[in-house]
Amino acid sequence: MNRRSLIMLGGFAALACATPAWTRRRASAQTAPSAASEERSDYTIRIANGLVELAPDRIVSTTTYSGQFPGPLLRFKEGQRVVVDIHNDTDTPEQLHWHGQNVPVDVDGAAEEGTPYIPAHGLRRIAFTRGPAGLRFYHTHLRAGADLQQGQYSGQVGPVYIEPKREPGAYDREVFLVLKEFAPFFSRGGDMEPDFLAPATRVKALEEAGESAMRASLAKGMPHGYEVGYQLFAINGRMFGHGEPIRVKAGERVLFHVLNGSATEIRSLALPGHVFKVVALDGNPVPTPVEVPVLWIGTAERVSALVTMNHAGTWVLGDIADDDRKRGMGIVVEYAGRKGKPQWVKPRPSRWDYIRFASARVSAPAPDEVIDMTFAKRNAAAHGFNEWMINGVPFSMEKMEPLFRLRQGRRYRLRMRNASDDIHPLHLHRHSFELTKIAGKGTAGVIKDVVMLGGYQEMEVDFTADNPGRTLFHCHQQVHMDYGFMALFDYA
Ligand SMILES: [Cu+2]
């Protein structure tokens, strides 16, 4: 598919390519829809190429929002209307996706659903009502394919906080953390996934199917499909030791809002001597806030967790993967009056179990309909990349055909089966879902918009079809979604 295709590009944008910069700016201003042109915009976001100084000797060139990484924190109020101007100063038509908000298709920011592009050197004005409350984010939604400058590999990530009418849990102050890697490269895969999900029950039939397909491919002499790795790691765009420390006082209750802005990676986070009380997942308050020693955050997931600062010192808040933390994935937490070298202590082994945050009620309401989905991998089948299928079909960017039909008002259950050994962070656009079964264990009350499905595992999530229009479902791993791991729902 041609990313630079002129779908929905306005005439002014085409003209802009051939005109000097000063006229270009005037021309692009005119591409704003005239209907809302008298209204003032509440926010302006500028997509442009720029530099991000991860450390004085590690400055990367990438695309960012409004010249900074992460993009500006947008604080919204639940249920209020907002007008946003999105300028695109790059040569590539862009999409800006409002991840986790129940917005209409023309705002959502996914070409697959029919959102118009923000033209290259152009402007798009959008207006929408903000919600639901909690930690959301905005990011690009372009296919990157083999281009490691595009899509989520770029610096186009920014947090959104929609203030709820009632905060989950008392706290003294908030700290936003955006976890993100830079300087990506391809490698021949075959990496083992970290083993941290609970319940760990695998489905024998899925394992046999996945393993035999892999064996057959390797027996034919195929190498492993490409995977993505990174040279540089950062929290809030600074490598460990190069940003401002998080300065705290003894006894303070800090509410951390953590966003995994990675294109492909699962992240972990620990703070020696402290525990995280998880109060919200993907911005939604959990029924049972529980203390955990380590946060595990899949690609595009968010965790809001309270930490009581009750262990004075200078500490490393960082990823438990030593290599990644040493290459930058950490930030200093410094108590008032304490100096010295930040200390890291490896946390005791623990597992990440979404069910611990669930409601005491074991079962969710029965769905009106069940939709079965099986995810499978064809090793290295697409120009050396793994090709991904949902129910035997890789998504076609040319056809963009809906695979599933929804009827408004019905409650659907997605019964998802993973016939691969990879963990997939699965995302549904414009709707939130309730976790109802994980690896055979029933649950209720945890509301999310991304969930990690373990290798050869099963999971069920329910959602209500309450936001008409095309709705994209996909794995949030860029190298998976780009090679087939997407499906469209449409309302009948
Ligand atoms: Cu995936």
Q: State in Å: Cα 112 to ligand 1 middle.
A: 18
Does residue 24 register a pLDDT over 60? no
Question: Average pLDDT in the 461-472 region?
Answer: 98
Ligand 1 center to residue 210 CA distance, Å? 14
Instruction: Supply the pLDDT for residue 17.
Output: 32
d(CA 303, CA 282): 6
260-269: pLDDT as tens digits: 999 999 999 9
Secondary-structure percent of the chain, ordered helix, strand, coil, rounded to 5: 10, 45, 45
Contact 47, 65 (CB under 8 A): yes
Distance 376 CA to ligand 1 centre (A): 10
Read off the pLDDT of each residue in 57-75 and give the average, rounded to a whole number. Answer: 98
Distance 395 CA to ligand 1 centre (A): 13
Please give the pLDDT value at position 190: 66
Residue 117, pLDDT score: 98
Distance 412 CA to ligand 1 centre (A): 22
Question: How many A from CA of 478 to the centre of ligand 1?
Answer: 8
Contact residues for 306 (Cβ-Cβ < 8 A; gap 6+):
169, 171, 253, 254, 255, 256, 276, 277, 279, 289
Confidence (pTM): 0.92
pLDDT in the model for residue 13: 33
CA of 242 to the centre of ligand 1 (A): 32
452 Cα–ligand 1 center, Å: 9
For residue 190, the CA-to-ligand 1 centroid distance in Å is 14
- The CA 420 to ligand 1 mean position distance, Å, reads 9
What distance in angstroms lies between residue 105's CA and the mean position of ligand 1's atoms? 23
Strand, coil or helix: 334: strand
Would you give the DSSP letter of residue 197? B
CA of 424 to the centre of ligand 1 (A): 4
